[in-house]
Structure 1
């Protein structure tokens, strides 16, 4: 299964590199005493590329954590990936299924906002983002999918799954107890090796949904070649996972 994950991530990355190459490269900008890279254009397309980069990096990190038995930390990352996948669909739908709404504009304003107004004085210039509530994003997704039904199961399960995995991020007792056990029972703070297979199966769902996000992005960027290639790999994953989700983004 781990080999399948690696190949899936390579397929995603091949598509992602083309998406990123379709945009002007980020430019170096002065921020206080240092320099950072920033996109000059701050639109849906650029935001989707950044979110895909987050998904890919987090999936690879989760794979490394899983291989060492750090299942609690894997759960934390999966919570991050949940939201990123939601955000990708939220942004893609604005172009492919709907129009850019006030909610999208508000989301983008918060997304592109810098952390500090004055990088030479970060303590006094920290800026609070006007974040769009997760419930509003999910309500938008439900409205669009209800108006033009999309057979993807990813969004339908995200709300419940996100609530479950938030316990890992916030350190809820039941989630911390995931690393307790053995003979004699104790806290496994150096990895819970016996739980690797269980959480590897869980990670398969996240690799699959990351794949779906890259397929939706392919539609956004008008790349039918990547749609076809990734759809074939999606079917390979379904066969390996023993499930036919009947999804066709």
Structure 2
């Protein structure tokens, strides 16, 4: 049977947001499975991907919500929709994907987020978060040595179930589910669905409340 792949013909900013949300959902499922089996190194590497998905969604949704679409958005979409290869075989292909620099995406988000946020501070915070997980993605020695321990000491190559690190990464995964609710709310807002946006906004506050952290609840009460 001949194989084929689906593609969006219009290649719009809204279609890009939907596709990014699809990856967020599958990424959360994968991260949860890795965490449950104790593969915290792999979970952390995946969370780095989720960080960028959330940045991309914010970057795209802000363009619509605040009617602030700039040439950088079109450059991003051109790269996003570009096919991986421009020839029948990968070896013959001369395609080079021109990705938008992550620093520019973060700078836009920080600038649009509001006058109360120093753009340089927002960019630096995002860069620091990304750098935190970079060692897991690239296999740096300090992160790899987190796998080493026990009696006798050895590399835990079958996962780290039952260790303090698993509990730590389980706690960290909460943040990614929380941020995902926000990403869905932003996309709902960008699509003009105020009812869904309000429902998701209320849900993210309730999610925070049930987690026991109550950071969002406190901020909402202050406003």
Q: TM-score range by the shorter chain?
A: 0.7 to 0.9
Q: How does 1:102-181 map to 2 (within 5 A)?
A: 102-118=71-87, 120-147=88-115, 157-181=125-149
Sort the Cα spacing of 1:226 and 1:144 in 2 relative to 1 into closer, same or farther, 3 A: same
What is the TM-score with the length of structure 2 in the denominator? 0.88
234-243 vs 191-200, greater mean Cα deviation: 234-243
Matched, 1:226 2:201: no
For residues 122 and 80 of structure 1, what CA distance do their matches in structure 2 show?
Answer: 24
**Secondary structure at the residue paired with 2:192?**
coil
Deviation at 1:130, TM superposition (A): 1.0
Deviation at 1:91, TM superposition (A): 0.4
Sort the Cα spacing of 1:54 and 1:110 in 2 relative to 1 into closer, same or farther, 3 A: same
Whether the 8 Å CA contact 1:86–1:155 is kept in 2: the answer is no
1:72 to 41, 51, 59: 41
RMSD value, Cα: 2.0
Matched, 1:216 2:186: yes
Deviation at 1:247, TM superposition (A): 6.5
1:188 to 131, 135, 156: 156
Sort the Cα spacing of 1:74 and 1:57 in 2 relative to 1 into closer, same or farther, 3 A: same
1:243 to 185, 190, 214: 214
Aligned residues: 211
For residues 104 and 122 of structure 1, what CA distance do their matches in structure 2 show?
Answer: 28
Whether the 8 Å CA contact 1:115–1:126 is kept in 2: the answer is no
1:198 to 137, 146, 168: 168
CA displacement 1:111-157 (0-9 Å, x = unmatched): 00001112x232111411111110111111111113486xxxx9884
* Greater RCO, 1 or 2 (C-alpha within 8 Å, sep 6+): 1
For residues 132 and 86 of structure 1, what CA distance do their matches in structure 2 show?
Answer: 12
For residues 214 and 123 of structure 2, what CA distance do their matches in structure 1 show?
Answer: 17
For residues 65 and 145 of structure 1, what CA distance do their matches in structure 2 show?
Answer: 33
CA displacement 1:217-242 (0-9 Å, x = unmatched): 11011112222222222122212142
Deviation at 1:200, TM superposition (A): 0.6
Which residues of structure 1 form unaligned runs of 5+?
Answer: 1-32
